[in-house]
């Protein structure tokens, strides 16, 4: 299985994400934002956390117009898998690959701590390795994680079972305490918490590693037949 991790100026979780993906069995290539094509036969594009382009204008706004992004959009339109974590989630929203927007945390503070999450659906390659309604703990580190979408979009996310994670305690004021969402084909996940920072027993938590293991297990048969 092959994964590409996109790297923008200001990305700072790109190498952690690569380590977590490699531990799950992915062959990982780092792809610079000025490239215009992804390596051949990529199964997963991962958009890492950080402060791409200094969070100028809006978080993720300038990264979402980078030269590599049309290749990401093309990959997703062909049914490829993608994950965006933290700033990567902001980038996926700014590209329009996922619906809604992320605004300044309701309490205005940058929040950096472990939080309790509920796995809201196990119906995706990302979350199949958890049990339904399981409570897990992952770190968050963000200033703009307050998820907003209009009532119609929120209703669709719930009715189509596309809310992946919710906060146990709604730390940032997100609509319906949403921490992560899936695309309509369930192959694109955007989430504010950092699974890649909870993927190695040596660092304390391993709940995030299960996401990458689940994804690898879900993608292995597809990669084998590709």
Partner 1 sequence: MKARVHIMLKDGVLDPQGEAVAAALGSLGFDGVEGVRQGKIIEIDLAASDPQTARDAAERMCESLLANTVIETYSVEIVG
User: Which residues are catalytically annotated?
Assistant: 86, 194, 196
Sequence-ordered alpha helix ranges (H) in the chain: 14-23, 69-77, 87-95, 151-159, 209-225
Q: Which is nearer to partner 1, 51 or 53 (CB)?
A: 53
16 binds partner 1 (CB under 8 A): no
107 binds partner 1 (CB under 8 A): yes
Q: Which is nearer to partner 1, 88 or 100 (CB)?
A: 100
Mark 31-50 with x for binding to partner 1 (rule: CB under 8 A) and - for no binding.
--------------------
Listing DSSP states for 165-197 in one string gives EEESS-SS--GGGEEEEE-TTS-EEEESS-GGG
Q: Which is nearer to partner 1, 49 or 60 (CB)?
A: 60
Q: Which is nearer to partner 1, 37 or 57 (CB)?
A: 57
**Binder among 49, 100, 180, 209 for partner 1 (CB under 8 A):** 100
| CB 156, min distance to partner 1, A | 14
Distances (CA, A) of 26 to 6, 49, 163: 15, 19, 25
133 binds partner 1 (CB under 8 A): no
| CB 189, min distance to partner 1, A | 19
146 binds partner 1 (CB under 8 A): yes
31 secondary structure, DSSP code: E
In this structure, are residues 25 and 19 in contact, taking their beta carbons and an 8 Å threshold? Answer: no
Task: Tell me the two tokens of residue 2.
Answer: 């092959």
Site for partner 1 in 167-206 (CB under 8 A): 173
In this structure, are residues 186 and 162 in contact, taking their beta carbons and an 8 Å threshold? Answer: yes
Which residues does 108 contact at the CB level (< 8 Å), separation at least 6?
A: none
Q: Which is nearer to partner 1, 54 or 107 (CB)?
A: 107
**Binder among 37, 108, 155, 226 for partner 1 (CB under 8 A):** 108
**Binder among 19, 23, 103, 111 for partner 1 (CB under 8 A):** 103
User: In the Cβ-directed half-sphere of 154, how many Cα atoms lie within 13 Å?
Assistant: 13
Distances (CA, A) of 22 to 66, 76, 99, 187: 25, 21, 29, 20
Residues making contact with partner 1 (CB under 8 A): 57-58, 61-62, 65, 93-94, 99-101, 103-108, 146, 148-149, 173
């Amino acid at each position: 299985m092959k994964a590409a991790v996109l790297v923008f100026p200001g990305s700072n979780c790109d190498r952690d994400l690569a380590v977590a993906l490699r531990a799950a069995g992915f062959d990982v290539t780092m792809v610079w934002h000025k490239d215009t094509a992804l390596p051949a036969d990529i199964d997963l594009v991962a958009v890492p956390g950080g402060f791409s382009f200094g969070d100028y204008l809006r978080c993720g706004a300038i990264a979402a117009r980078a030269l590599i992004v049309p290749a990401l959009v093309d990959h997703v339109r062909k049914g490829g898998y993608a994950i965006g974590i933290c700033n990567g989630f902001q980038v996926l929203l700014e590209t329009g690959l996922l619906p809604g927007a992320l605004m300044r945390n309701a309490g205005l503070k940058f929040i950096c701590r472990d939080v309790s999450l509920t796995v809201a659906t196990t119906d995706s390659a990302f979350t199949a390795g958890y049990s339904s309604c399981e409570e897990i703990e992952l770190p968050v580190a963000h200033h703009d994680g307050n998820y907003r979408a209009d009532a119609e979009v929120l209703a669709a996310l719930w009715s189509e079972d596309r809310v992946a994670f919710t906060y146990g305690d709604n730390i940032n004021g997100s609509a319906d305490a949403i921490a992560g969402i899936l695309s309509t084909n369930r192959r694109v996940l955007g989430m504010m918490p950092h699974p890649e920072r909870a993927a190695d027993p040596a660092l304390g938590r391993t709940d995030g590693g299960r996401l990458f293991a689940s994804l690898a297990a879900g993608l292995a048969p597809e990669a084998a037949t590709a």
